[in-house]
C-alpha cells in the first residue's frame, strides 16, 4: 500500500531534521514544511539559529503553535549542540534525549530519518494502528515501541514506522474506515468491528476509546 515510504517533513541535514521534528509537535507536517522553508533559508545551522535570536525565531515558528516553548527548545538544543557536540547533532538516542524539547519519539525520528540508524518512533498514529492491528498490545507508546522492536525485524523498522503513520493518517484514523481497509482480513480491531456490523454504536464506542489514547 505504501511502497518506498519517505518522511513527510522536509530537511537536508540532521540539524534541520531535528528542528522540523521539534516544530511538528501538535502541528501538521505541511505547516511545518512551509515554516521551515523560510526559516532554513535564513538559518539552518545551530550557529545561525543562535545568531537569529529569540524574537526573530519566534516570528518564524509562530504558526506551528506552542511557539514560545518550541523557540526555547530549538534555541536550547542549538546552544548545547554548539557547546557540547561541536555543532553536530549527536547520532545517539541517549545523547539526543538530553537536548531540550527532545523526547524518545523526536530522537527516534531524527535517528531513523536523518542518520538512517534503525529506530522505531512511535507517534499517535503508530501507537493507534499497531495496537488495532494486533502487532502490539500496549497502553503506552513506549511499551508499543518495545513490543514492535521485538516483533518486527530491524531492517524494516524505518520504512515500517512510516507505513504505519501513513495508514493512520489515511485509513486507520481515530474513526477508522475499516470497510475500505485492505488490511481488514488481518486486523484484530477491524474484525471486531466487522462482527458488530461496523454499527454506529460500535464506531462511536471505538472512537471514544481511541480518542483517549490519540
Ligand atoms: Fe485500522 Fe480498521 Fe484497517 Fe484495522 S481494519 S487497520 S482498525 S482501518
**Residues 5-51: pLDDT tens digits?**
999 999 999 999 999 999 999 999 999 999 999 999 999 999 999 99
- CB within 8 Å of 146: residues ≥ 6 apart: 138
- CB within 8 Å of 28: residues ≥ 6 apart: none
pLDDT at 197: 87
- The pLDDT tens digits of the residues spanning 53-105 come to 999 999 999 999 999 999 999 999 999 999 999 999 999 999 999 999 999 99
CA of residue 116 to ligand 1 center, whole Å: 29
Contact between 53 and 78 under an 8 Å Cβ cutoff? The reply is: no
Taking the CA atoms of 181, 159, 109 and 27 in sequence, report the sign of the dihedral they define: negative
156: pLDDT strictly greater than 80: yes
Distance, CA of 115 to CA of 146 (rounded, Å): 21
Of the residues 105, 143, 205, 208, which is catalytic? Answer: 105
pTM for this entry? 0.88
Q: Which atom of ligand 1 is nearest to the CA of 177?
A: 8
- Tell me the pLDDT band of 205, cut-offs 50, 70 and 90: very low
214 given a catalytic annotation: no
- Tell me the pLDDT band of 106, cut-offs 50, 70 and 90: very high
155 given a catalytic annotation: no
- The pLDDT tens digits of the residues spanning 46-65 come to 999 999 999 999 999 999 99
Of the residues 55, 123, 150, 207, which is catalytic? Answer: 123
The preferred substitution site among 132, 136, 175, 182 for testing ligand 1, maximizing ligand atoms within 8 Å of CB, is 132
212: pLDDT strictly greater than 70: no
CB 58 less than 6 A from any atom of ligand 1? no
The preferred substitution site among 127, 171, 198 for testing ligand 1, maximizing ligand atoms within 8 Å of CB, is 171
Distance, CA of 187 to CA of 58 (rounded, Å): 44
DSSP 176: -
Distance, CA of 70 to CA of 63 (rounded, Å): 11
pLDDT at 198: 81
Amino acid at each position: 500500500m505504501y511502497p518506498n515510504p519517505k518522511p513527510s517533513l522536509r530537511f537536508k541535514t540532521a540539524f534541520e531534521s531535528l528542528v522540523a521534528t521539534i516544530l511538528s509537535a501538535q502541528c501538521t507536517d505541511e505547516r511545518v514544511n512551509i515554516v521551515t522553508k523560510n526559516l532554513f533559508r535564513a538559518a539552518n545551522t545551530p550557529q545561525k539559529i543562535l545568531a537569529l535570536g529569540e524574537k526573530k525565531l519566534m516570528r518564524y515558528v509562530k504558526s506551528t503553535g506552542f511557539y514560545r516553548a518550541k523557540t526555547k527548545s530549538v534555541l536550547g538544543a542549538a546552544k548545547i549542540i554548539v557547546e557540547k557536540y561541536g555543532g553536530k547533532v549527536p547520532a545517539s538516542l541517549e545523547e539526543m534525549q538530553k537536548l531540550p524539547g527532545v523526547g524518545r519519539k523526536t530522537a527516534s525520528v531524527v535517528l531513523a530519518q536523518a542518520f538512517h540508524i534503525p529506530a522505531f518512533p512511535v507517534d499517535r498514529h503508530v501507537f493507534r494502528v499497531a495496537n488495532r492491528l494486533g502487532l502490539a498490545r500496549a497502553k503506552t507508546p513506549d511499551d508499543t515501541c518495545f513490543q514492535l522492536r521485538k516483533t518486527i525485524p530491524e531492517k524494516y523498522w524505518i520504512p515500517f514506522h512510516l507505513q504505519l503513520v501513513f495508514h493512520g493518517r489515511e485509513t486507520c484514523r481515530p474513526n477508522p474506515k475499516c470497510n475500505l481497509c485492505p488490511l481488514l482480513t488481518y486486523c484484530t480491531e477491524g474484525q471486531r468491528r466487522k462482527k458488530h456490523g461496523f454499527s454506529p454504536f460500535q464506531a462511536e464506542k471505538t472512537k471514544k476509546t481511541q480518542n483517549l489514547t490519540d
